[in-house]
Structure formats: C-alpha cells, structure tokens
Amino acid sequence: MKTCTSVCPYDCPDACGLVVTVDGGRVVSVAGDKSHPFTRGTLCPKMAHYERTVHSPRRLTTPLKRIGPKGSGQFAPISWDQALAEIAGTWKAIIAEAGAEAILPYSYAGTMGIVQHDALHGLFYRLGASELDRTICAPAKGRGFKDVMGNTMPTAPQAAQDSDCIFLWSIHMLATNIHFHHDVEAARAKGAVVWCIDAYRNKTADLADHFIAVRPGTDGALALGMMHVLDRDGLADEAFLDRNVLGWEDLKKNVLSKYTPEKTQGITGVPADVIVELAHAYGRARAPFIRLGSGQSRYRNGAMTTRLITCLPAVVGAWGKQGAGLLTSASASKAYDKEIVTHSDWKQPGKRVVNMCCLGQALTGDDRIRSLFVYSSNPACTAPDQNQVLKGLCRDDLFTVVHERFMTDTARYADIVLPATTSLEHDDAYYSYGNYTIQCGYAAIPPVGQSRSNWRVACDLAHAMGIDDDFYDCSERDLVEALAASTTKWPLPVDQQRLSQGLPTPLPMPDDYQTRFATPSGKIEIYNAALTPALPDYLPLAEDDGTLAFVNGPDMRILDSSFNERDELTASHTMDLFVHPDDAARYGLQDGQTVTLANERGQADFTVVISKRTVPGQVVSEGVWWRERVKGQGASVNVLTSQRLTDEGAGSTFYDVRVSIVP
C-alpha cells in the first residue's frame, strides 16, 4: 500500500488536489487533499470513487478496428503497430489526394492537464491539417469580461469569505464549483446574504437567501436595470467611477435611461420591485462579490451579456475592496508557458479553421473533411445539433480515429479506436480556472491494459508520419518539469519545491491585482473604443414565438458526458424534464409520462417532472447523457441544440433553444 498526491484532471473549475492510495498496481481509493487551499479535504460525489472509473470493466484496453456498420459498435482487437500503420497509411493517401487540410483533429478538455491536453497540437500543425477553433465551452464569457477589464485578473474565490453579499449568478455551484460552497458558508457565518440568479430554481438556489428567475438570455438587460437604479438612487460610487472608469457618463445618458425597472421587467420577467431590491442589495453592500457562471453566456448575445454584468462592480467601486469583486474564471493558466507543449510556431499560415461548435456542418457541408481524429472529447454526444454530427460520422468516406478511455457515442462511429490512459496512469501539469492554484501530478499506476497517453500517441503518430524532431524524444516527465520551471515568470515567486514534489501550490497574488486595471487605457472600459458598439447595450434574442424555452443545465452526477461510464451514478433519472404545473395543465402532461420535444433540428424524449423549479413557458433538463442512457431512439439533448455562434468569441449557444411539445 502506498499513497501519493495527484490532481483531478476534469474540466471543473475546482481542480482538486487528490490523495491516491495504491495497492499492488491498483488504485484502491481517492480522497481530497487537506493541504489544497480550495479542496480542503473533500471531493465531489463523482470523484469520491475515481478508482471505479480507472478500473472500470468498461475501460478500453486494446486498439480496435471496425468490423460492422458505422455506429454499430462492432469492433475487433488489433495491435498498436497495426493501428498506427493503418492510420499513417490512410493519412498519407488522403494528403496525396486532397491535401492535409482534409484531416481535422477534434479535441477538448477530457483532461485539463497541459501536456495531455495540448500533446497533439504540434503534430497537426506540422502536418498542415485543418485547425480546430476550441469554442465549445464559454469563449463569449471570456471576451465579455476582457472587453471591460482587459487582462485584469478576476478575484480569487476565497476573497468571498469577507463579502457581506454574494451573488451566485448563472452558476450551479453545487454541481460545477462545489468547493466554493465552503467560502460562501464562511461568509454567511459572518452574516453575508446570498442571492442566486438563474433561469430555473436549481439545487444551488435552494441554499440561497434570495432566488431570482431571469428569462433565459436576458441577464444583460437585468444588469442595465440594476445600473439604472444604482444611478437613480445615488448608489453609484461617483468618486471611483471618476478616477477609474471610462464611459460612465455616456452610458447613463445614452443607455441606462432606457432601462427603468418597468422596462427591464418586460424583458427579463423579473418584477420591477425585485429589480430595485436587487440593485439596492448590491449597491448598499460593503463588499459585494459576484461569482459568474457560464450559463448566461451560451446565447447569441452571450459576450454582450457578460460585458454588461462586468460593468456592475465598477459602478459600485467594488474593485480593491476586501471581500468584494467578480470571479468569471481565474487566470492561473497564465502561470505556465504552455508553448513548451503547444508548439504554435509550427502553425502554417492560411490553413482552414473549423469552429468545433459547427462540426456537423464541417462533416456534411460541401468542403468535406475526409479524416477526423477525436481525442479527449465526445462530440457525438456533447456537440450541438447531434443529428447532423451523426450524419457526418456515418459517412463511408470519412476515416475516423477516436482515442478514448471508454466506448463513447463517438467511439462507436470510429474506424479505429485507440485506448487512452486515465490521469493516474500518466504525468501532467495542472492549473485551476476557478482558483489560483497549480499542481503537478505523476503516474500512480502503470497504464491499464495497452492504453497509451495522448503524449505517447503524439510521439507514435509523429514517427509513423515520418516527422523527425527532437521534440518527440521528450518524455512527458520532461515536459512537466519544463512547464513547472516556466512558472518562475508568474508576477511573484512560486514555491518551486512544492510544485516539483507534486503538492498543491498556491499562486501568490500581487497586492494590487484588483486595482491595477490591465486594459489599453489603464482604466475600466465601460466605453471601449475598439469595439462596435463602443458602449454596451442589451442585444435582444429572437421574438417570443409561443414555443417553449429549453434550458439544459449541468447534472451533479456527471461532467459533460464524462462519468456516464459509472452505472451506479447514472442508472436512473437521466432525461428528466422540469415542466411548470401551468404548462403541464396546458399540454395535458402527467408526472412521470414520456414527452417528446421537437424543433427544426430533431426530437428527443424526456420524462416529465412537474415542478415549480421552472417557470411557465420554459422547460429544463439536466445532464448530457450517452445515447445508451437515453430513452427511445437514443436522441440526447443535443439533438435540439444549435450550431449558431455567439456575438463575440464564436462560442456555443447551448441554452439559446426553443422547442415545442409533440402532441
């Protein structure tokens, strides 16, 4: 029996520190690291039994070759040498015939470790393949914050412990950021009041003091309505605004005047008196703290919405006050020089760029991709417009390779499947995007079966494709060490000893990180001359056409489609649909019955849960489920979602969806 430290590799803002117990080459248990400044010794329900994922009987253990129709899941085992030879042979033929841009890599954040996440980027740049714009998560949120604050570092979550008024805005904290709950409760113990602003009353809302249901995609108008009241009622910090902010007078005159509480109620559905109460709570707080999630940004106006919410702390002069601030995403990744792995110097100019939210179009449109290499992602399940993605994956003239830990929806459509390691079988360097901690994790057990890490596969494929470069002689350990060494450039000295020992390493924060505004003007830019429009204003969604809004939030038991392999977590209640009692009566729906939702892209079956968690005119489901976990024809939520992109950042619009109930 031995124990070692590691890091949770998943796409979760907490990036927890793990203590792993190993016996005879098997992981027997995993616990939260007490010495981690955010994990503080606990894990979420998903990771509390990570060993069940690592040693799952569902793990892929050998390379596989397809022997049945695409999607049938019929495969025969082959050797790694055979698999690599087949991939290299097919790619060479495609390159000779159609050029390397006919090959598309597709990956996202199955693991957040920098080495494995970016391992294959250099290879595809060298080949001259099509490039993937990795926009599926929340680039609009990043852009909206940057439009106002530039590269200013968002507030550390632990600061909220000293807040007297916390806003959980569009974040399902208990599912997606569970360790922030500790900071929220610490503040509450000192009297802080908690507000939750969401499209529906999720379980996080249950623990807040006040819940506000906002009409989906209208938070930008809500922020404007709040600013209107802050100005009207003398709660704006005019001295702070004068000194630090561009555009406040312009905004007041040209934009805010329109957003009276009554007008804002008409857009957002939030009663006018509640908007006034909300603005007063924010404006009168000594130290208001906003934790902003991504939900609000996954609409066609997502960047503008985030831009408007980001104006709020400037209006009340929250920046720099102890306990106050705004956390969108922490910028801890900047501690590393990722180029060590990414090798963007190998990018070739003018290559086609495919937006990952538009995979369906890329596979079925005129300018077709001939080979798709998928790793660390499950687009047949998680990408929008599932029917179009599946239509593309069914093409007989598409050569698909999937590097995976499990037989996912996507792997089922592969010509070749390659088995991947889990994070406890390879080395990596990690950072958090929800707190300012970094950490390295080293393999705790040997690879399960014949699985290979992304880095190993990058080296194997580079050699098979005849790319001769010293880079591919590096071990993953070398890359982790180089990344760790690169953190000496962080604004303040990082504890190199802790980092190299694989211990959670807090990034020291400069005293003035909340008051040195890293924008081109050095001021907070409510007015941003580089943008059109230079002054932010609410961008309306499509007119209400009498259909239902469809919000599909995160589920506590899974993470995107990861953890669907765990039968004990996912056995029941996968495609539940919250329907308000008024809508249930209107459509004649009973609790527990199957209901079909449809729109122009397709239709999917859900189980009705009549509930006041949602509001009339809006239905809600939680989780992105594997097709085998879904009723009927195997249509998951993404049959209903759209490839439409956001206003800035070309991001996904997963929650900007209208549906009808099929009678």
Ligand X SMILES: Nc1nc2c(c(=O)[nH]1)N[C@H]1C(S)=C(S)[C@@H](COP(=O)(O)OP(=O)(O)OC[C@H]3O[C@@H](n4cnc5c(=O)[nH]c(N)nc54)[C@H](O)[C@@H]3O)O[C@H]1N2
Q: Confirm if 71 and 413 have CB atoms less than 8 A apart.
A: yes
Which of 404, 525, 605, 648 forms a contact with ligand X (CB under 6 A)? 404
Looking at residue 186, its amino acid is A
SS3 13: coil
Q: Which residue has the tokens 């979602």?
A: 641
* Binders of ligand X in range 601-640 (CB under 6 A): 624, 637-638
* Binders of ligand SF4 in range 142-181 (CB under 6 A): 178
End-to-end Cα, the chain, rounded Å: 59
Radius of gyration of the chain from Cα atoms? 25
* Angle subtended by helix axes 454-464 and 476-486, to nearest 10: 120
Residue nearest to ligand X (CB): 295
| Closest distance to Mo ion from the beta carbon of 547 (Å) | 26
Residue 43 within binding range of ligand SF4, rule CB under 6 A: yes
| Residues binding ligand X: number (CB under 6 A) | 60
Residue 624 within binding range of Mo ion, rule CB under 5 A: no
125: partner contacted, choices ligand SF4, ligand X, Mo ion, none (Cβ within 5-8 A by kind)? none
Residue 14 within binding range of ligand SF4, rule CB under 6 A: yes
375: partner contacted, choices ligand X, ligand SF4, Mo ion, none (Cβ within 5-8 A by kind)? ligand X
Residue 376 within binding range of ligand X, rule CB under 6 A: yes
641: partner contacted, choices ligand SF4, ligand X, Mo ion, none (Cβ within 5-8 A by kind)? ligand X
Residue 342 to residue 442: CA distance in whole angstroms: 20
Residue 236 within binding range of ligand SF4, rule CB under 6 A: no
359: left (phi > 0), else alpha (psi -120 to 50), else beta? alpha
Taking CB under 6 A as the binding criterion, the range among 35-43, 134-142, 495-503, 606-614 that sits at the site for ligand X is 134-142
What secondary structure letter does DSSP report for 105? E
Taking CB under 6 A as the binding criterion, the range among 7-15, 218-226, 388-396, 439-447 that sits at the site for ligand SF4 is 7-15
What secondary structure letter does DSSP report for 345? G
404: partner contacted, choices ligand X, ligand SF4, Mo ion, none (Cβ within 5-8 A by kind)? ligand X
Residue 216 within binding range of ligand X, rule CB under 6 A: yes
Measured from the CB atom, the residue of 43 and 398 that comes closer to ligand SF4 is 43
- Structural tokens at position 287: 């130290």
Measured from the CB atom, the residue of 163 and 564 that comes closer to Mo ion is 564
Residue 586 to residue 660: CA distance in whole angstroms: 13
Residue 47 within binding range of ligand SF4, rule CB under 6 A: yes
Residue 449 to residue 71: CA distance in whole angstroms: 24
Q: Which residue has the tokens 């968002």?
A: 154
180: partner contacted, choices Mo ion, ligand X, ligand SF4, none (Cβ within 5-8 A by kind)? none
| Closest distance to ligand SF4 from the beta carbon of 75 (Å) | 30
**Residue 428 half-sphere exposure toward CB, CA atoms < 13 A:** 27
Question: Per the omega criterion (within 30 degrees of 0), is the bond before 13 cis?
Answer: no
| Closest distance to ligand X from the beta carbon of 349 (Å) | 27
How many C-beta atoms surround the C-beta of residue 3 within 10 A?
Answer: 12
* Binders of Mo ion in range 127-146 (CB under 5 A): 137
178: partner contacted, choices Mo ion, ligand SF4, ligand X, none (Cβ within 5-8 A by kind)? ligand SF4
Residue 559 within binding range of ligand X, rule CB under 6 A: yes
| Residues binding ligand SF4: number (CB under 6 A) | 12
Measured from the CB atom, the residue of 47 and 104 that comes closer to ligand SF4 is 47
Residue 608 to residue 592: CA distance in whole angstroms: 5
Residue 563 to residue 602: CA distance in whole angstroms: 26
Residue 526 to residue 254: CA distance in whole angstroms: 13
Residue 44 within binding range of ligand SF4, rule CB under 6 A: yes
Residue 272 to residue 329: CA distance in whole angstroms: 30
SS (HEC) of 566-586: CHHHHCCCCCEEEECHHHHHH
Non-local (6+) Cβ contacts of 60 within 8 A are 404, 405, 406, 407, 411, 417, 419, 420, 449, 451
Which of 219, 576, 583, 647 forms a contact with ligand X (CB under 6 A)? 219
Site string for ligand SF4, 544-583 (x = CB under 6 A): ---------------x------------------------
Residue 560 within binding range of ligand X, rule CB under 6 A: yes
216: partner contacted, choices Mo ion, ligand SF4, ligand X, none (Cβ within 5-8 A by kind)? ligand X
Residue 8 within binding range of ligand SF4, rule CB under 6 A: yes
Measured from the CB atom, the residue of 204 and 505 that comes closer to ligand X is 204
How many C-beta atoms surround the C-beta of residue 188 within 10 A?
Answer: 17
Residue 382 within binding range of ligand X, rule CB under 6 A: yes
Residue 139 within binding range of ligand X, rule CB under 6 A: no
| Closest distance to ligand X from the beta carbon of 26 (Å) | 19
Which of 199, 230, 369, 414 forms a contact with ligand X (CB under 6 A)? 199
Measured from the CB atom, the residue of 135 and 152 that comes closer to Mo ion is 135
Q: DSSP letters along 120-159, please?
A: THHHHHHHTPPEEE--SS-HHHHHHHHHHHTTPPPPPGGG
Residue 117 to residue 132: CA distance in whole angstroms: 13
Q: Confirm if 354 and 130 have CB atoms less than 8 A apart.
A: yes
514: partner contacted, choices ligand SF4, ligand X, Mo ion, none (Cβ within 5-8 A by kind)? none
- Structural tokens at position 404: 């995976």
Site string for ligand X, 159-188 (x = CB under 6 A): ----------xxxx--xx------------
How many C-beta atoms surround the C-beta of residue 546 within 10 A?
Answer: 8
* Binders of ligand X in range 243-302 (CB under 6 A): 293-296, 298
Distances from the Cα of 332 to the Cα of 13, 290, 431, 435, 636, angstroms: 11, 19, 6, 7, 34
Measured from the CB atom, the residue of 108 and 240 that comes closer to ligand X is 108
Residue 457 to residue 659: CA distance in whole angstroms: 42
Q: Confirm if 583 and 617 have CB atoms less than 8 A apart.
A: yes
By the criterion CB under 5 A, which residues form the site for Mo ion?
A: 137
By the criterion CB under 6 A, which residues form the site for ligand SF4?
A: 8, 10, 12, 14-16, 43-44, 46-47, 178, 559
By the criterion CB under 6 A, which residues form the site for ligand X?
A: 11-12, 108-111, 116, 136-138, 169-172, 175-176, 197-200, 202, 214, 216-217, 219, 293-296, 298, 375-379, 382, 403-406, 408, 420, 454, 551-556, 558-562, 624, 637-638, 641, 654-655
